[in-house]
Each structure stands twice: as structure tokens, then as C-alpha cells.
Amino acid sequence: MLLRGLLFAGAILGCTMHPLAGADDTATDDAQAAYQQAQALKRGNRFNEARLGFQEATTLAGPGSKWSTLAADELRYGLPLHESNVLLAQLARAADHPTRSRLLTRVEALYQEMLESNTDNPGRIAEIERKRDQLALLRQSARGNEHPSLTDGLDRLRSRLDQLYARQGRFPDRRQIETEVANMLREAGLAPNRLTLFDFYPSSTSFFATLRDSQGGADVKIKGDGGGIRIEGGGL
């Protein structure tokens, strides 16, 4: 009787524990599927969707599980590292300055994100710092390539100020010069603070303005008189 009772109790316990074990298995399977799908999205360069997929895997698996650990590591290192490498490849093919500037800015942000998320891993920190050194060289090269963009932009700026003078019958005022400078910088793909209006001296027959270069280049002089509008500096 005692043996029969123990067997009966064991059978009851086994029945009550089995559904919980099945639920755990299902959660693990779902987490694994979410992780693998996120990996496929990452390799397809669908980074935002991959990020959501890895986040889902950590939620489904629960803290401390295999898939949660793997997904969390992708979020803090694997995914941003892959995205930065893809963007660097795009940077090598980029032909225009605005695109290069946008890609450089994004890669810098990804490196910063990885530095903040991997403070417990000196090896990764050292590797990211080396990548940042390489990126700094690329940034310097990109800045060197801005000179033709600035020269072309200033030439367009002179033409637009001439057109304003012809339409209005008077030289542009401070606000109009600042507006046209901002438009030129945006169209040339240059930083909006690259040139700022430092001084402006108008008269009834002429005007003189100075644009200060935030990167330490020579001041750009804009002069207007009876002979028209001229720009000096910035490659002109």
C-alpha cells in the first residue's frame, strides 16, 4: 500500500510539472528563432529591425539564458560593429561630401555607443579605440576635401548676392547675407557653423562683410560697390 501510494503521488507530481517544462521549452524555441531571424536581418543590413529582433530574443528567453546572453552581446557589440563596418564600406564609395559627412558622423556615434557598452571588456575597448584612430584620419581627409566644396559654394554665393543687388537696386543687408550663407553651406554639404558673419559695414553706395571660418581658415571678405560684388578668400 505504501509503495502504491508513493507511485501514485509521483505520477501526480509528474503531471503537474510537465506543462511548466513545456512552456520553458517553447520560450527557448521562440527566443532561438527570434535570435536567428535578427542575425539574418543584421547580415541583410536591416539594422533597426535586427536591433528589435535581438531585443525580442532577450525578452523571450529571460535573463541568464543562453539566447538572452547572446542577443544582449549582439546589441552591445556585434550589431553596432557590423553596422559600422558596412558604413565604412559605403564611405569608401561615397562621391559627395554630404554623404561622407553623414556616414562619418554615424560611425563615430556607433563607436561611442560600443565604448560605453563594453567598459567591462578591455580587449574590445582597445580595438574600438584603434578604429577611432583610423576614423580620425578619414575625418581629416574629408575635411581636406571640403576645400573645393567651399570654393564652389562661395562662387555661387557671389552670384546670388549679385542677383539680389540687381533685383532690389540696393546691396543685401545683414539678414540677407546670413540667409544666403546658410543656404550655401547646406547645399555644399558643409557644417552650418563653418562660416559665420563676423562683421558688416553698409553704406549708401557700398558694403563690406567678413565671414569667419570655424576651422581656422582665412577670413572670407565680401565687398560690394559700384563695380558689383566680390568675394576674397576661401579659394577665390
CA distance 132 to 3: 71
Which of 83 and 2 is assigned the larger pLDDT? Answer: 83
Alpha carbon distance 196, 69 (integer Å): 50
Closest CA to 57 of 43, 75, 42: 75
* Grid cell locating 15: 503531471
Choice between 227 and 25, residue whose per-residue pLDDT is larger: 227
Provide the terminal-to-terminal Cα distance of the chain, rounded to the nearest Å. Answer: 106
Confidence of residue 190 (pLDDT cuts 50, 70, 90): confident
pLDDT at 109 over 90: yes
Residues in the chain: 236
What confidence tens digit (pLDDT) does each residue in 195-226 have? Answer: 999 999 998 889 999 999 887 788 999 999 88
Residue spans of the domains in the chain: they are 22-144, 146-232
**Region 154-164 average pLDDT:** 90
Closest CA to 47 of 20, 2, 85, 93: 85
pLDDT on residue 191: 79
pLDDT greater than 90 at residue 26: no
Q: What is the pTM of this model?
A: 0.56
Quick one: cell of 234?
576661401
Q: Are 234 and 149 in contact (CB under 8 A)?
A: no
